[in-house]
Amino acid sequence: MNRGRKKIANPETARRILAAAEGVFAEHGLAGARTDEIARTARVNKAMLYYYFESKEHLHRAVFENLFKQASRMIEAEMPANASARQIILAFVDGYFAFRVAYPNYARLMQQLMMESPEECRRVAREYFRQGYEELTRAIRQGIARGEFHRANPAHTVINILAMIVFYFSGAPVHSVLLGKDALKPQTVAEHKRAVVDLLEHGLFRSFRRAG
């Protein structure tokens, strides 16, 4: 889905603009971001920026669309063919952790969106999050029905899995203080990921053997 983006003549230029905009929007928000700074960071002039993206608002939306595309790609890369319910849940955890590590600006961008544009945030949830949420919910229902998972509320279990990952990255400055080390260092992130999987192994899955 590429609303807000014109036909791209040079994908590399578009990628530079998106990367620059991601950083500037994360730092200043939509209202505070200046297209001059985005263009300068991307090493293009403003006319070129507007050639690819019609307005600052369209560029902001395109940044999110690109991030959602990358998240889907990284999760799908972890998903085995004909995945079991257990493999679906673990592949999501693996892929989503990889995405959050690779795109650290995402936490700030989503926080800003929720605070500044609640209606846009609801649109994003409907268009980009609902399908994945429903797929995970179906996987949990399937696992329960087959006796592979403990009985649980599938809808809230998915939200809890998301929260264990999302809140960790969103609250990283606080978690760094509590843990006594940088919460975003690769080793610390890996520790938290193992802790999330351990909770799933003991709280949701009936057998304590890591799939895959």
Band the pLDDT of 209: cuts 50, 70, 90: low
d(CA 201, CA 18): 38
Band the pLDDT of 75: cuts 50, 70, 90: very high
Any domain includes 24: yes
Are residues 128 and 34 part of one domain? no
Any domain includes 45: yes
CATH number of residue 160's parent domain: 1.10.357.10
The one-letter code for the residue type at 170 is S
Residue-wise pLDDT tens digits, 152-199: 999 999 999 999 999 999 999 999 999 999 999 999 999 999 999 999
Are residues 91 and 24 part of one domain? no
Q: How many domains does the chain have?
A: 2
Cβ partners under 8 Å of residue 189, min gap 6 = 97, 101, 183
Are residues 15 and 110 part of one domain? no
Are residues 98 and 149 part of one domain? yes
Band the pLDDT of 101: cuts 50, 70, 90: very high
Domain extent for 190 = 79-203
Q: What is the mean pLDDT of residues 63-73?
A: 96
What's the mean pLDDT when you consider all of the chain? 92
Of 109, 85, 86, residue with least CA distance to 21: 109
Q: How far is CA 8 from the centre of its chain?
A: 25
d(CA 129, CA 50): 29
Are residues 150 and 91 part of one domain? yes
d(CA 187, CA 122): 34
- Tell me the pTM: 0.88
Are residues 50 and 126 part of one domain? no
In contact, 105 and 50? CB cutoff 8 Å: no
Residue-wise pLDDT tens digits, 12-47: 999 999 999 999 999 999 999 999 999 999 999 999
Of 146, 153, 157, 151, residue with least CA distance to 84: 146
pLDDT of 211: 43
Are residues 49 and 92 part of one domain? no
